[in-house]
Structure 1
Amino acid sequence: MIVTLIVICEIGFWVLLAAGLAVRYLLRMPRTGLALLLCEPLLEIVLLVVTAIDLKNGADPSWKHGLAALYIGYTVGHGHRTVKWLDGHAAHRLAGGPPPVRPPRYGMARARHEGAVWLGSVVAAAVASGLLLLAVWYVGPDGETESLWGWITVAWRATGIHGLIALSYAIWPPKDPAAKGSAVPARDPEDVADLPVGGPRKDEEQV
């Protein structure tokens, strides 16, 4: 049941997102569209309540409950970024707005962007861990909570790997190939040494 509900919440997320953007820009009803977009957190609340009820009814904690916590955490940490990105594209395509600003691709600007995305993963792991710890407390010391603790480890392990990837952009920031091609080639030091001081000689100018 929990897995089915996760699938329903994921489908509902995209359905509400598409409906909200269509109403906001195609039907020119921004308030109604915003209301539909604000309904999306209700999906996570429903999933959280159903998961708690399932545990209260005596269900053994399993990977399904851990997956539900990670899904809610991911939505909290990265959902707003997805909505903002799609809203910018919808405003441009459907309402004649300016083109959305693309994320930087090179240099330290790219490193800062990757760091901001990683912070979203930290928030996701923190939210998921908080929910899983509440589940551990809710089940009590006599329950089977090993799988819940395992999902906490999975959440922070994934966040750590993402952090290493983001850190690599700060240590080795990608360089713009166009900037490399536009650089003026430096003159060979030996050629510079052969030139006379004050420019070419008069006999060279006459040749």
Structure 2
Amino acid sequence: MIFLVVGCEIAFWVLLVTGLATRYLLRARWLSNVLLVSVPMVDVVLLAASVVDLRGGAPATTAHGLAAIYLGVSIAFGNQMIQWADQRFAHRFAGGPVPVKPPKIGRAHAAHERGQWLRHLLAYVLAVAVLVIFTLLVGDLHRTLKLWSVMAPWGIVLAIDFVISFSYTIAPRKRRSN
């Protein structure tokens, strides 16, 4: 199962880079669209494989929990990652505008950091939802406890991210004076 999670992560980036390269280097818009539309299919494959594995009687493992994390992060941050890569490809290979960088100082930076934390929270909530689905599909809470082991460390990371992200609201970054 862990190899499938890693494979899906690799497939995400391969499809994304291939889709953008096809768009901007080969100028094959239709093929590029097909490749880029395939990116979310990686999530569907991972979800389906996890469900089939668990419903087939496989022991619930940390890898299944990581699959839930992957799905949550992919849904919450996937579009943002695709836009980030698209801006850079367009700029580098198609004369597009310089990619927009997030603000580094002031209230705009604080707002950006809060927004990113909210995306992080969304990823966490989505992973919990996937784990609930996995647990219900298996139908045995004791058999699925291992799935949930990944959430406590991630919860700590989420709390640390909250403190850092919202600290900029209280004390916004200022321009460095030389």
- TM-score range relative to shorter protein: over 0.9
**Counterpart in 2 of 1:49?**
48
Cα distance, 1:66 vs structure 2: 0.4
SS of 1:144's equivalent in the other structure is helix
**Counterpart in 2 of 1:97?**
96
Contact 1:60 1:143 in 2 (8 A): no
Distance 1:141 1:125 in 2: 22
Cα distance, 1:104 vs structure 2: 0.5
Cα distance, 1:142 vs structure 2: 5.9
Shift in alpha-carbon separation, 1:73–1:145, aligned structure 2, 3 A: same
Distance 1:21 1:83 in 2: 9
Cα distance, 1:129 vs structure 2: 0.4
Contact 2:135 2:141 in 1 (8 A): no
Q: Tell me the TM-score normalised to structure 1 length.
A: 0.80
User: What letter is aligned with 2:24?
Assistant: Y
Segments of 4+ moved more than 3 angstroms = 152-157
**Counterpart in 1 of 2:64?**
65
**RMSD, aligned α-carbons:** 1.6
Cα distance, 1:156 vs structure 2: 3.3
Instruction: Give the number of aligned pairs.
Output: 178
User: What letter is aligned with 2:13?
Assistant: W
Distance 1:169 1:59 in 2: 45
Q: Tell me the TM-score normalised to structure 2 length.
A: 0.92
Cα distance, 1:29 vs structure 2: 2.5
Contact 2:60 2:144 in 1 (8 A): yes
User: What letter is aligned with 2:124?
Assistant: A
Contact 2:5 2:63 in 1 (8 A): no
Name the one with the larger helix percent.
2
Structure with larger RCO (C-alpha < 8 A, sep 6+): 2
Cα distance, 1:147 vs structure 2: 1.8
Distance 2:43 2:119 in 1: 17
**Counterpart in 2 of 1:199?**
none
Q: What aligned pairs does 1:25-174 form with structure 2 within 5 A after superposition?
A: 25-141=24-140, 143-174=142-173
Could you say which structure has the larger radius of gyration? 1
Gaps of 5+ in 2: none
Q: Deviations over 1:75-130 (max 9, x none)?
A: 11112111111100111110001101111000111111111111211111111100
Gaps of 5+ in 1: 182-207
Contact 1:61 1:144 in 2 (8 A): yes
Identity of aligned residues (%): 40
Distance 1:140 1:99 in 2: 51
